[in-house]
A and B are shown apart, each in its own frame.
Chain A
Amino acid sequence: MKRVAYYKGCLASLSAKELDTSTQALAPKVGLELIELKSVTCCGAGDIHEAEPDYYLHLNARILAYAEAADCDTLLTVCNVCTLNLRQANFMLQGDANLLDRINENLKTVGVPQYSGKVDVRHLLWEIAEGEGYEKLKVAAHKGLKGLKVAPFYGCQILRPSKIMQFEDPDRPWSLERIIEACGGEAIDYPAKIKCCGFPIIQAREETALGELIQPVEQAMEAGADVMVTPCPLCHLSLDAWQQKLEAATGRKFGMPILHLSQLVGVAAGLEESELKFKRHIVDPRPALDKLRV
């Protein structure tokens, strides 16, 4: 078992609890021991990063410090935006000793443990797309997703900026496809899988955001997908909950079920409904998944 500090982020703590329960249930099956961090806050998303960057850096340094204090080398994330925020803050601190000193001084003042810079921030996606995690996944996913056509949706901030993500080619990613196939599903290809769901501006600029959201949903549908899967709970919220607004705005019916990565793998690994919690979704994925039972 690999011990990792588990950073849920806001969504998995609140509106996307199904992401948390499925991740917790899946983790031991793919060789991860999750050490839950109690004292951490929201990473601030793109919002605090943009508006108050110095505060953003302190908030994220604090999360990294608590991961180190829990004696973990890896901080596991389940959200694209958390991943970008934490990795970026981490590189800022690792790459500039003066900056790290200043932040540590401030952390000390308010009673937060010190951060040395040695924690690695990794998304669940990367843990199970290669290495040990991938080997375990292949065994765990024995129930399979046979015949299920799955459209991978990466979302922006797990791919770009690639100099911060450092995992795969941002224009030709392969990790989700590899996982879908390891679970016995069929990965559907479509151009918008690397584009945006519009979430960051979905409240402030709804029309523009819906114009972005329609691309992946429409293309996945036209490519014949039964479900879509995403590693980001914000993308999930946008794709699942705002889909009805898209339907209202276009007068079209999409009805595309959206799964969190941990749920998709969870189905293949035989997790219970109490762990998958599909009834929390706006578009119910169960009818599409029913075809796996026959």
Chain B
Amino acid sequence: MQVALKIWRYDSSTGERALREYEFDAPEEATLLDCLDIVKERQDGTLAYRKSCRMMICGSCGMRMNGAAVLACKVRMYEIAQAGEVPVISAMGNLPIVKDLVVDMDSFWQKFKAMKPYLQPGYEEPEDGREYRISQERMNAVHKESLCVNCGCCVSECIAMESDPEFLGPQALAKGMRFVGDPRDAATVERLEEYSGEHGIWECTRCFFCNERCPKGVDPRDAIAKLGAEAIKEGIDRDMGAKHAKWFIRSTETTGWLRETELVPKTQGVVSSVKQMKFAMKLISHNKAGLAFPPHVAADVGEARALHKLVHEQGRLGFEGHVQGERALAKLAHGYKEGRDPYAPGSFPRPYLPEGEA
């Protein structure tokens, strides 16, 4: 098949940047990575990109295709080429470019290391000669997080990180959850304390780009939610983000609707909320701040209160509450339908194509 690619070339030593177009013949089963190999071999030996396994497991080949982070070895080119598309290939975002499609992963690895991605000792040792056994149910809690291949596709698109490069970010936090959820790890509370800092859990803006891009189904945003739930369960709620969340819970129990007027003082504390006064007055003058009195009360709000009590009695708090929904949500990942043959033609995920050309 005929394939055409546009590739953003960049040389950090000279600062030169150029969009080059390449056209070549490739086998029908070729991936984007195969195509880059062809370009490098036949047309331009100076093209730089990373690769190793060619099978979506080493995490080396993260890059952007039409602005979206992908693993080059996961993207099949057939349908794209058939549609006559000429995708633009560029380096990942949120990381400095070294050359062409190669980014400097230094900050990525530093955040990764900061999570202490290894078991903290202190768990009860099994008897001599026995292995430590963990139930399947417990492993399910970190199943998705364990799939991470450290490719950086999530970090590339993280909106909070675009705004604050110090944000720990989706990959590191998902890694953190992988250990918080592991029953053998003896530092759960310390970890949650650490991850609840200025650049941790509560800085995530819930844009869901990480879930959308992760080529391995880790769903880092969901991992962050698990950490948030676990932190609240452990009473680690000093952060404004945690207070904000707790105020929502209180609101649903009392009026049923969010008590917006009180949200700022409840989240930021009275002192800094006084600083927000001028801003708040403006909102109030446009009826934007809701009304403090009388609070708007939903009918039968007692039911919500009773549910909250019941849920606490049943004790499915912390990450457990998130994990219980994962089985059902996993069915959506690959267009699962009851009774459908998963190996039938057309059942594998396809790249997005322009309307009418799919």
Contact = CB atoms under 8 A, between A and B. Distances in A.
Interface of A: 10, 13-15, 17, 38-42, 44-59, 62, 88-89, 91-96, 99, 106-107, 109-112, 156-157, 160-164, 166, 169-172, 174, 191, 195-196, 198-201, 203-205, 207-212, 237, 241, 244-245, 279-282
A30 B279 CA distance: 37
B49 interface: no
B212 A161 contact: yes
A91 B290 contact: no
Contact of B203 (A51, A205, A280): A205
Contacts of B216: none
B310 A109 contact: yes
The 9 closest A-B CB pairs, nearest first, are: A95-B328, A211-B163, A53-B321, A160-B208, A204-B240, A54-B321, A41-B256, A92-B325, A51-B245
B257 A41 contact: yes
B159 A57 contact: no
Interface stretch (B54-62, B175-183, B311-319): B311-319
Q: Is the interface of B mostly helix, strand, loop or mixed?
A: helix
A114 to B, nearest CB: 13
Interface of B: 66-68, 159-160, 162-164, 167, 202-209, 211-212, 219, 221, 224-225, 228-229, 232, 239-249, 251-252, 256-258, 260, 263-264, 267-268, 279, 282-283, 286-291, 296, 298-301, 303-304, 306-308, 310-311, 314, 316-317, 320-322, 324-325, 327-329, 331-333, 352, 354-355
Given A201-B202, A204-B202, A245-B279, A50 B307 contact: no
6 contacts: A50-B228, A50-B245, A91-B328, A163-B333, A201-B203, A201-B205
Contacts of A46: 206
A38 B301 CA distance: 10
Contact of A41 (B163, B286, B301): B301
A42 B205 contact: no
A88 B329 contact: yes
Contacts, number: 249
Given A172-B352, A212-B205, A14 B211 contact: no
A171 B279 CA distance: 35
Contacts of A244: 279, 282
Given A161-B211, A203-B240, A171 B290 contact: no
Given A15-B260, A50-B225, A50-B229, A208 B329 contact: no
B304 A59 contact: yes
Given A52-B232, A157-B208, A160-B207, A14 B257 contact: yes
A280 B289 CA distance: 11
Given A51-B246, A55-B307, A203-B244, A15 B207 contact: no
A79 B240 CA distance: 24
Contacts of B239: 204
A209 B205 contact: yes
A164 B286 CA distance: 35
A106 B352 contact: no
